[in-house]
C-alpha cells in the first residue's frame, strides 16, 4: 500500500493519505482510499469475505495527511459521535502566499456551499443555508516567498480551511479553486492534515498521531526549518 499506516489495532486504522486519493466513491468512479485500505486489511490478515471498514471523516482530494478509518461498527459509531461533539483535535499545516496579520488568531465565518461548483464561500449574512465555521491559525515559519501556518479546526465544514484562509487573504499554494494563480504540477495543494489527537473509541487511551509531510522541495524546506526550531540548543 502506497499510503503509510500510521496507527493500527483491532478497532481503528490511521493512514497518511497522499494527494490525489479520494476517501469515498464520487462521480469520477475512481478507486478510493477506503478500497485500498480494505484490500490491505484483507490481505494482511487473510480475511475471508467482505471486510468492514467505516469512513469516519474525509480530506479533499488534493489534500494529504492523517485519515482515520474504523475497523468495527462499535468504533465507527463512537468516532462519529466524537467528531460530531468536537472531541477530536485536528491540526493542519498550510503553506500560503501571504503572512497573516496578525500572525496568530481566530477566524470565524459563516460558509455556504455551492454544490454545482463544488466550492464554498463566506456568507455576507447568515442564512439557513450557511454554517458556522471556526478555526485558529498561527504562523510558524517562512521562506523567501511562502509562509507556513498551523491551523486547528473547531468545525468541519466543506473546504473550510481553504475558504476561510482565502477570504482572509492567505491563499494556499496550488489551490487554483480558491484564488492561487497557479496549480501545482501534481494537482495537489499545500495543505496537510499534520496531527490528530483523540481518546481511543474502545480503549479510552489518548492517541496522538503525527503524519509525515509529503516529499516536495517546499514541504522538505519547512520540515527542516520546523525540526530545527524544535531542537533545543546544547
Active site residues: 60
How far apart CA 142 and CA 98 sit, in angstroms, is 10
DSSP string, the chain: --SEEEEE-SSEEEEEEPTT-BSS--TT---BHHHHHHHHHHHHTT--S----EE-----TT-EEEEEEESSHHHHHHHHHHHHTT-SEEEEEEEESS--SSSEEEEEEEEEEETTTTEEEE-SS--TT-EEEEEEEEEEEE-SS-EEEEEEESS--TTHHHHHHHHTT-PBTT-GGGT-SS--TTS--SEEEEEEEEE-TTT--EEEEEPPPPSSHHHHHHHHHHHHHHSPP-
Amino acid at each position: 500500500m502506497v499510503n503509510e499506516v500510521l496507527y493500527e489495532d483491532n478497532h481503528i486504522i490511521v493512514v497518511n493519505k497522499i494527494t490525489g486519493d479520494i476517501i469515498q466513491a464520487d462521480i469520477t468512479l475512481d478507486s478510493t482510499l477506503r478500497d485500498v485500505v480494505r484490500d490491505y486489511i484483507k490481505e494482511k490478515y487473510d480475511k475471508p469475505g467482505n471486510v468492514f471498514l467505516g469512513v469516519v471523516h474525509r480530506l479533499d482530494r488534493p489534500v494529504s495527511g492523517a485519515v482515520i478509518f474504523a475497523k468495527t461498527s462499535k468504533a465507527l459509531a463512537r468516532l462519529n459521535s466524537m467528531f460530531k461533539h468536537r472531541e477530536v483535535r485536528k491540526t493542519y499545516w498550510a503553506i500560503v502566499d501571504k503572512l497573516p496579520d496578525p500572525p496568530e488568531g481566530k477566524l470565524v465565518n459563516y460558509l455556504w456551499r455551492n454544490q454545482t461548483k463544488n466550492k464554498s464561500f463566506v456568507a455576507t449574512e447568515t442564512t439557513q443555508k450557511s454554517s458556522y465555521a471556526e478555526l485558529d491559525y498561527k504562523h510558524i515559519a517562512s521562506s523567501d516567498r511562502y509562509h507556513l501556518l498551523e491551523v486547528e479546526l473547531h468545525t468541519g465544514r466543506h473546504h473550510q480551511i481553504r475558504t476561510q484562509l482565502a477570504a482572509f487573504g492567505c491563499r494556499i499554494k496550488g489551490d487554483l479553486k480558491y484564488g492561487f494563480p497557479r496549480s501545482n504540477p501534481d494537482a495537489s495543494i499545500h495543505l496537510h492534515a499534520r496531527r490528530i489527537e483523540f481518546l481511543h473509541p474502545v480503549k479510552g487511551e489518548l492517541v496522538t498521531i503525527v503524519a509525515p509531510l509529503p516529499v516536495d522541495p517546499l514541504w522538505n524546506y519547512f520540515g527542516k526549518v520546523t525540526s530545527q526550531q524544535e531542537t533545543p540548543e546544547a
